[in-house]
Amino acid sequence: MKPEPAPAPEPEPVAEVPVTGLVGRTLGAYQIHSQLGEGRWGTVYAAVQTAINRPVGLKVLNPTQAADAGARARFIADARAKAHVQHPSILAVYEAGEAAGHFFYAHEYVEGRTMAEIKASGEKLDEQTALKVLRTAADGLAYLSVHKIPHTPPEPGGVFLAADGGARLGNIATQLSDQQLPVEGEIQALGRILLGVLPAVQGLTPGMQDLVKRMVQKGPQAITAWGPLLQGIKALEPKVVPVEAAKISAQDRAAVAAVAAAQKQQKRSLYITLASLGGLMLVVSYLFWAKFHSNERLLDEQVQIPAGEFIYGNGDPATLPDFWIDKYEITYGQYAKFVEFLKNHPTTEYDEPRQPRIKAQDMHMPKDWEIYYQRAVAGKPVHGVAIDLNSPVMVVDWWDAYAYAKWKGRELPTEQEWEKAARGTKGFIYPWGDDADPKKANSNTDYHGGDPAAKGEVDGYAFWNPVDKIKSDKSPFGVVGMAGNVSEWIATWDDAKKHPLVKGGSFMASDTRLDSRKDLDPSSTSEALGFRTVSHTPPAKK
């Protein structure tokens, strides 16, 4: 029997190098540029992960606590807890490490200001911006609450308004919280944060006044659960936030207005000039031009996954009959045909029975669909990011994905079907094998949330990519894009939490392992979330 290896010596404290003196130094893979602030555990810096030129926030444990083994263990455990949180509203934590006696973890960097900084400056947010901040923070806190993830209370210094107009919630997950508030307490805290950056309550619109008052008050009229709060926010959004400024630029809004005006004028002109041969010729010419100048490629191929055994989950053997799965994620070009069908044939026959009634009013048209789709048709960027009809359809919730699949005569894949198509029969951790390779899939290795137009230096894309462009993200069966680009809704639900599962990595996710699983509220949407479908009969020959 081999003797036990001697325990590693405890790292010596580095009190002679104060944490505040780290600007300009390198810790591990990170070059520190400036100090951002002080926190409970130490100092937060703006830094760059030099290997991939990724800006990060770097939290460094202060020397006094670094000298304490228990404090070090708690700091690293908290960093691990934060790294397991994957939600578009919450800052991602990339990794924890130690260098030169300093313990640290790296997290997503936000170029912008916190609510604490905005309050201290005396500035007041307009209702549109405040509502966006509230929605983002409430989404993130609801996620932590529903998933029973221990976390510290929300604070003004942990809610961000980014320079690009977006909002984010700091990652407040922790291994074990000794401060966690009940839900009603968190809603009250969030309400007080909002009041600190809003104009006087008397100057707010009636709906906003009522919402904020019900957040901070106690009694029968108080909002005490995340569901009613999120519903209240959603009810105000059409009146206060016509388009999400964090995602859509003024140029994009102008483009949609121009398209709508052109469509209205086109209809009017059609009635007037219908009898005119010249007008008819123009219409025919335009249709001919549009048909042969579309940027859409034919990407509706399905791949046969043969029957037989495979490795599933944590190494368990399983067996499935053969099935066919989309080679690529569903694109804007493909989903647009579904939207057009429902416009011309309104029906609820494709809705899943559990779908909320209010969802039927959307007819499965995703939020800001006209902006994303029209920009995709034109091949013009959305908030600086290239998009075309071959990009994965995004901002779709589970109900949309289910309905599209049913309309196509298909289904969403089960977790077992998805994993077999992605991991092959041997149960690879990644489509190409068991070794991580950030160059092979579009993950958050070079995601630049604060600079959407930036070009990815590792995988080539800072945000999404056309579904057929990264061919190295290919499974043993030839299915493309299952480790990156956008995560994918699947048919399987988590029975305990009553939520559908999401599989696969995305351009916002650090975790691209194919055996990972997470669940989301079926009404959740994100630019980093799409889907693909399966058939259990051979596709028709063309």
DSSP string covering 483-526: SSSSEEEEEEEETTTTEEEEES--TT-S---TT--EE--TT---
Q: CA triplet 218, 220, 223: central angle to 5 degrees?
A: 65
Q: How far is CA 465 from CA 359, 387, 459, 485, in A?
A: 28, 8, 10, 6
Task: Give 233 or 411, the one with higher predicted confidence.
Answer: 411
Q: Residue type at 323?
A: F
Give, for 78, the enclosing helix (H) or strand (E): helix 69-83
In the chain, where the domains are located: 19-108, 112-240, 250-292, 302-535
pLDDT in tens, 415-431: 999 999 999 999 999 99
Pairing of strands 30-38, 323-326: unpaired
The mean pLDDT of the chain is: 84
Structure confidence at residue 511 (pLDDT)? 72
- In degrees rounded to 5, what are phi and psi of residue 375? -70, -35
Tell me the longest C-alpha to C-alpha distance in the chain. 95
The pLDDT score that the predictor gives to residue 293 is 60
| pLDDT tens sequence across 12-25 | 333 334 445 788 89
The class level of CATH for 19-108 reads alpha beta
Alpha-carbon distance of 164 to 372, in angstroms, equals 18
Statement: residue 239 has pLDDT above 60: no
Contact 325, 305 (CB under 8 A): yes
Question: In 3D, which of 470, 469, 288, 466 has the Cα closest to residue 388?
Answer: 466
The alpha-carbon radius of gyration of the chain (Å, integer) is 25
The separation between CA 521 and the C-alpha centre of its own chain, rounded to angstroms, equals 13
Q: Say how many CA atoms lie within 13 Å of 129 toward its Cβ.
A: 18
For residue 210, how many C-alpha atoms fall within 13 Å in the half-sphere facing its CB?
A: 9
The secondary structure of 208-228, three-state, reads HHHHHHHHHCCCCCCCCCHHH
H or E stretch at 140: helix 127-146
Q: What is the pLDDT of residues 282-308, one digit of tens each?
A: 444 444 444 446 889 999 999 999 999
Q: Which of 407, 379, 403, 401 is nearest to 297 (CA)?
A: 379
The whole-number pLDDT of residue 4 equals 46
Where does the pLDDT of residue 258 fall: very low under 50, low under 70, confident under 90, or very high at 90 and above? low
3.90.25.10, 3.30.1360.10, 2.60.40.10, 1.10.510.10: which CATH number matches 112-240?
1.10.510.10
Query: Which amino acid would we find at residue 92?
Result: A
User: For the chain, what percent of residues have pLDDT higher than 70?
Assistant: 85
Distance CA 510, CA 281 (A): 53
The pLDDT-based confidence of 261 (bands split at 50, 70, 90) is low
Question: CATH number of the domain at 302-535, please?
Answer: 3.90.1580.10
- Ordered strands of the 302-305 beta sheet: 302-305, 323-326, 534-535
Q: 167 by DSSP, 3-state: which?
A: strand
The pLDDT, as a whole number, for residue 474 is 97
Strand partners of residue 519:
501
Segment 345-371 shows an average pLDDT of 88
Is the sign of the CA dihedral 181, 517, 531, 168 positive or negative?
positive
Q: What's residue 18's pLDDT?
A: 46
Percent of the chain with pLDDT over 90: 52
3-state secondary structure 236-265: HHHHHCCCCCCCCCHHHHHHHHHHHHHHHH
Rounded Cα distance, 405 and 527, in Å: 19
Look at residue 201 in the predicted model and tell me its pLDDT.
84
DSSP string, 11-72: PPP-TTS-GGG-TT-EETTEEEEEEEEE-SSEEEEEEEETTTTEEEEEEEE-HHHHT-HHHH
Under 8 Å between Cβ of 248 and 368: yes
Nearest to 120 by CA among 156, 71, 150: 156
CA dihedral 178, 518, 369, 401 (to 10 degrees): -140
3-state secondary structure of 376: helix
Give the number of other Cβ atoms within 10 Å of residue 6's Cβ: 6
CB 427 within 8 Å of CB 312: yes
Which sign does the torsion angle of CA 105, 109, 115, 121 carry?
positive
Give just the sign of the alpha carbon dihedral 204, 208, 214, 217. Answer: negative
**Model confidence, pTM:** 0.55
For residue 237 the two structure tokens come to 């959004």
pLDDT digits (tens, 9 = 90+) for 42-54: 889 999 988 888 8
Length of the chain measured in residues = 542
* Separation CA 143–CA 351 (nearest Å): 25
